[in-house]
Structures are given as C-alpha cells and as structure tokens.
Amino acid sequence: MTSGRVAILTTNHFHPAGDRIIYGGAEKYGLELSRLLLSLGFEVSWWQIGDGWQKEILPGVLVRTLPATEAPFHTIPQLNQAFHERAVDHDYFIYFVTFLAYPQAMEPSISISHGVYWDYPGFDATLNTEADRAEWRRRLWIALSGPRRVVSVDTATINWVAATFPGLVSRFEYIPNFVDVAAVDATEPAGKAPGRIRVVYPRRLTTVRGINEMVRVAEVLSGRYPEVEFHFIGRGHQDEVEKDMMAWVSRHPGTYYYWLPPEDVLRVLKSTDIAVIPSKAAEGTSLACLEAMAAGCAVIASWVGGLGNLIIDGYNGLVIKPTVQDLLTSLERLIRDEDLRVFLGRNARETARAFDLPVWQQRWRKVIQSIFV
C-alpha cells in the first residue's frame, strides 16, 4: 500500500544517455525531492520535454517525456496540456518550475520557485511590447495562483510577489536550498601546494553568473599575486565557450579551467580559500554557495536574489555589487587578509549547518503532509 502516486512536471533538466551533461542545482534538487517522496511511501514519476525516451533516475523512478515545441511568453502550455492528459492516473502533482502550472494546475498540487529568473535586462528584449509584458505577467499570475502551495527557495521571490501581486503571497512557503553537511565533512580535500591561495569560481560559464567579471578580475590579480591560483570549474552551454576559456587560461599563468562531477568539485572546495559567486541575475539560494560555505571557504557573493538570505556582509562572507571594481577590491582584500578569510570561512561553515539536508527534508515533509492528503 503506497501513500499515493506523485507526478512531477519539469522542463528538460534530465538528459537522455549520451547527451551533454551539465551538473546543475536543479538535477540535484530533483533527486533529493524524489528520495524524500519515496521515503514517505509515495510512488514518483517525472515528466519532461522529450521525443519519447525514458530513463530511470532512481530505482523505480522513471523520467518520461512529452512533446512540446513552443514556449510563448515564457510558458509551455503544450507541455502543461500533455501532462494533464497523460498523468491523470496520479494522485498528487508537483510543478518543478512555477510557470509550468500555466494554464491549469492539477489538484492538489505544489509548485517550486527556484528564484527570480527575469531580473536581467536581456529578459525585457524577449518581450517586445508592453502588451507582451502584460501577457507574460498575466500568465505568471495564473501559474502562481493555481497550486495549493508555492515553495520558494528564497525570500527575494516571495517579496517580489508581495510587491507585485497583492494577496498572492499567502500561499508561499520559504524553504531555502540545502547542503549535505555530513557529505561535505566526509570529503577529503584535494591537494594544494603549501603557501598557495586558491580562489574558485564554481559556476557555469554564463553571463548571468558573472563569468565575464570574474575572468577580468583574474586577469588583473593573477599578474599581481603569483601565489594565488584561480580555478574556473563549470561547463559552458556551447563548445565554443569552453574552447575560448581553455585558450584564455593557457595565456594566463595561475589560472585553470576544467569541470568535474559534483563530488570532485566538493574535494576542490575543501581545499579552497576563497569561493566567488558573482551572479548578476537569476539567482536563488545557490547550492554552489551553500557548498562553498559548508566547505569553510570565505565566500564573496553578489547581493542578487537569494544570496542575501545566506550571507551577512562581513560576518560569514562578503556581499558585493557584481561589478569588476567591487569584485577586484573584495578579492584583493581577502587575498591580503588571512585572518578575515579564516573568520568568514569559520562562520560560513557554521551557518551552512542551518541549511543541512535533514532540515530541508523536515521543512518539505511538513508541506507535503499538509497538501498531499
């Protein structure tokens, strides 16, 4: 006897075998959520865009695919419709991304907001007229008002809703992202030569994550501080970006570019002095930031999105405006001040315990048990 069948709708964050694999926070979140539902006795299935392939991501947990080719106004009504037709034999529903609940939400359902994703100037260019923008907002409002609960990974989203759609905020629940503290503690640090200072940028090579600012800063500081090594760990979305990055590090001594599976990124973070999260937009309570904190790094984070839920400037990290100048100043300050690095890293490590995986599971359990009954 199971507690019921849960169908989870997502966009396309799982990949068929052989495809380009980008380890992102969404996939990690999805796996932990699946495990939690299984532990509560639910059967779990995932649904996403695809051309008919199936894949088992955990024992008994299948990802199935649905056809969808268009995404008007940042929604995917075709996918929503197909899900409604195919998943009718399930009892409970989760929209893994908020806009997937447009135009209709199954009953009862929960949706998840992973942070504000429309806060960069380029987003405006995707909605050409005032009317388009109004239509996007209308659809977002419908998507947010359908599910019984919207779980938000940060308070920035909740506060945006409160400041934009009065009255809608009461269905929101703040559950910040998690870090598996025990796993981080058990990880052996990667080797590092004595006397070196390791700076890591543990993100994808994309504009919104601040890659350009970080590259520029590394360019300046690698010449100034030969004892500092700069690691860029993360994939780009195109081969060209990765090639450019490889060419760039070959011209700059003290800089390194590579990518690793998540557990090996942790190993590097464990021997890292300074982790840099200079996001310019589209940021929640970043898993990468939490991992760096749990690993005891001194973190420099931008003040964007959910990062302000994790870092108190000057206490457990430094909070900056994501510009070349601010990044340069703060990084240089930490390179020169070992005491401050140690102080921030120690407090970050302690703070990360408030985001430990079991705490996240307990908060989610409460939501699931109040809605899926």
Partner 1 sequence: MRISIIMPNLLLPDGENPVIGGLERYAWQLVALIKELGYEVDVHQFAGADWHRQIYGTDVYGYGMASWSETAALEAMHQNTGAVLYLSIIQAPLRYKPRSVIVSHGVWWDDPAASRDYVQRSLEVCRQALTEAGHVVSCDYNFLNVVRSLYPDLADRITVIPNFVDLTQFYPSAGPKGQLRILYPRRLERCRGAEMFVQMARTLVHKGYDDLRFEMAVDRNHPDRNQALLEATRDLEAVLAVKTYPFEAMGDVYRSAQIVVFPSLCSEGTSLACLEAMACGCAVVATDVGGLTNIIINGYNGILVPPRPHELTRAVEYLVCHPHDRALLCERAKAAARAFDVEAWKRRWRGVIRTVYGSI
Using the minimum distance from each CB to partner 1, give the nearer residue, 53 or 315. Answer: 315
* Distance (Å, whole) CA 320 – CA 307: 10
With binding defined as CB under 8 A, does residue 357 bind partner 1? no
By C-beta, is 17 or 131 nearer to partner 1? Answer: 131
Closest CA to 260 of 228, 286, 235: 235
Q: Counting contacts by CB under 8 A, is residue 105 touching partner 1? A: no
141 counts as binding partner 1 under rule CB under 8 A: no
CA-closest candidate to residue 98, choices 58, 153, 180: 153
Q: Binding of partner 1 at residue 163 (CB under 8 A)? A: yes
Q: Which of 169, 190, 241, 367 binds partner 1 (CB under 8 A)?
A: 169
Q: How far is the CB of 209 from partner 1 (least distance, A)?
A: 15
Residue number, 286 or 347, with CB nearest to partner 1: 347
Q: Where does residue 317 fall: left (phi above 0), alpha (psi -120 to 50 degrees), or beta otherwise?
A: left
Q: At closest approach, how far in Å is the CB of 247 from partner 1?
A: 30
Torsion of CA 17, 19, 23, 28, to 10 degrees: -40
- Applying CB under 8 A, the span of 3-11, 15-23, 168-176, 233-241 interacting with partner 1 comes to 168-176
Token pair for 144 = 């947010």
Backbone angles phi, psi at 174, to 5 degrees: -85, 115
Query: From the CB of residue 97, how many other CB atoms can be counted at a distance below 10 Å?
Result: 18
CB contact at 8 A, 177 and 287? yes
Residue that is written with structure tokens 């709708």 in the block:
9
Q: Is 351 in the site for partner 1 (CB under 8 A)?
A: yes
Give yes or no for residue 119 binding partner 1 (CB under 8 A): yes
Per DSSP, 114 falls in state: -
Confirm or reject binding of residue 287 to partner 1 (CB under 8 A): no
Which residues contribute to the site for partner 1 (CB under 8 A)? 116, 118-121, 123-124, 155-156, 158-160, 162-164, 166-167, 169-170, 172-174, 176, 281, 303-305, 308-310, 312-315, 319, 321, 347, 350-351, 353-354, 359
